[in-house]
Homo-oligomer: A and B are copies of this chain.
Amino acid sequence: MKHVTIRALAKELNLSVSTISKALRDSYEISEDTKKRVLALAERLNYMPNPYASSLRGRRSKIIGVVIPEVADSFFSLAINGIESVVKEQGYHVLISLTHERLANEQSILHEFQGGRVDGVLMSVSRETVSGRHIRDLMEKEVPVVFFDRALDEVETDKVVTNDFESGYAATQHLISRGCKQIAYLTISENLSIATRRMEGYLKALADHQLRSSGKNIVQCGTDAAFNYKQVKKLLQRKKRPDGIVASVEKLATPVYQACQELSLSIPGDVKVICFSNLEIATILQPSLTTITQPAFEIGKTAATVLLRALDKKRGKPAQQQVIIPSELIARESSG
């Protein structure tokens, strides 16, 4: 048995294709009796409509594009779960496209989407993304775009983010309240808005507590694990070693713990540590890791909801909104 089409059903029942089509969509113009027969046959032959034929007709593919830097990251994994959970309720599917933090990839993905592959896009911009040209190009083709987590300020559209500034502030204040005087900050990007906002929170907290901030205490990390390890180790080998570290992204927890172990520094005795992270495993680290935990699942869910709403209204151009879902500071042993 190959492809069962609407036409096959029609022939079998001696009806026209349009009658079948209507019956399947439960149109009021079709008699109950015919509907029954059509449905029964469809069931029996295991009929499934070809979604692309419908798409072509109705210009909606029922596919949502999710454009993110990586999947192998607990934040994005959880966010995808959230997205999927709401989207599938409405019969939508999730198409994942990875940018690997490269603007060029992001551009070519969105460019391809201009052909109509997806009905809408949920995205977190790459680390390299500073201009929103490619994003606006897509939006001009009437494909709604909703940012989640990593938004680009410059593009006027819906955004679902967390309170990065406040979180950076809270993380820093937390370490200060535990007695830290020399707090280092590990970051991974200079132009990512969420990164700068977190850092601004850090700087503001220092200022509010009369602590001097120094450029030397802000350490640039990257995507390469070995490089990051070296950077952190160098930081901890300084004469004036920091007594607190704010790690602004999850993957930086590993080098910090490794370097401390390597250098026989005690956490939290010698250095107190707090990290932005969604890792469940934070609790079983030794010492357990104090985290700023983002509501990843919630962010995904909300972003998807906002997008579906936009798809619903469509031309209605509802005022873009910015939803902020706060992160949570979970104090554990590493900030002792």
Report which A residues bind B (CB closer than 8 A): 1-3, 46, 48-53, 55-56, 61, 63, 70-74, 77-78, 80-81, 84, 93-98, 111-112, 114-117, 137, 140-142, 253-254, 257-258, 261, 279-281, 283-286
What is the CB-to-nearest-CB distance from A31 to chain B, in angstroms, rounded to a whole number?
26
User: Contacts of A285 on B, CB cut-off 8 Å?
Assistant: 281, 284-286
In the A-B complex, the 6 residue pairs with the smallest Cβ-Cβ separation, listed nearest first, are A286-B286, A48-B115, A257-B284, A72-B77, A52-B52, A48-B114
What number of copies of this chain does the assembly contain? Answer: 2
Can you sample 26 A-B contacts with CB below 8 Å?
A1-B140, A2-B141, A3-B116, A48-B112, A48-B114, A48-B115, A49-B115, A50-B56, A50-B116, A52-B55, A52-B56, A71-B71, A71-B81, A72-B77, A72-B78, A72-B80, A73-B77, A80-B96, A94-B96, A94-B97, A95-B96, A96-B96, A253-B284, A254-B281, A279-B281, A285-B285
**In whole angstroms, how far apart are the Cα atoms of A315 and B100 in the complex?**
35
A95 touches B63 (CB 8 A): yes
What is the CB-to-nearest-CB distance from A53 to chain B, in angstroms, rounded to a whole number?
6
User: Contacts of A279 on B, CB cut-off 8 Å?
Assistant: 281
User: Contacts of A50 on B, CB cut-off 8 Å?
Assistant: 56, 115-116
A48 touches B254 (CB 8 A): no
Q: A55-B52, A116-B3 are in contact. Are A258 and B284 (CB under 8 A)?
A: yes
Closest to A116 in B: B50
Contact of A77 among B2, B77, B111, B116 (CB under 8 A): B77
User: Contacts of A80 on B, CB cut-off 8 Å?
Assistant: 71-72, 96
User: Contacts of A56 on B, CB cut-off 8 Å?
Assistant: 50, 52-53, 56
* Centre residue among A51, A71, A111 by max chain B CB count within 10 A: A71
**In whole angstroms, how far apart are the Cα atoms of A112 and B51 in the complex?**
9
**In whole angstroms, how far apart are the Cα atoms of A230 and B63 in the complex?**
41
* Centre residue among A56, A257, A284, A285 by max chain B CB count within 10 A: A284
**In whole angstroms, how far apart are the Cα atoms of A2 and B315 in the complex?**
12
What is the CB-to-nearest-CB distance from A7 to chain B, in angstroms, rounded to a whole number?
14
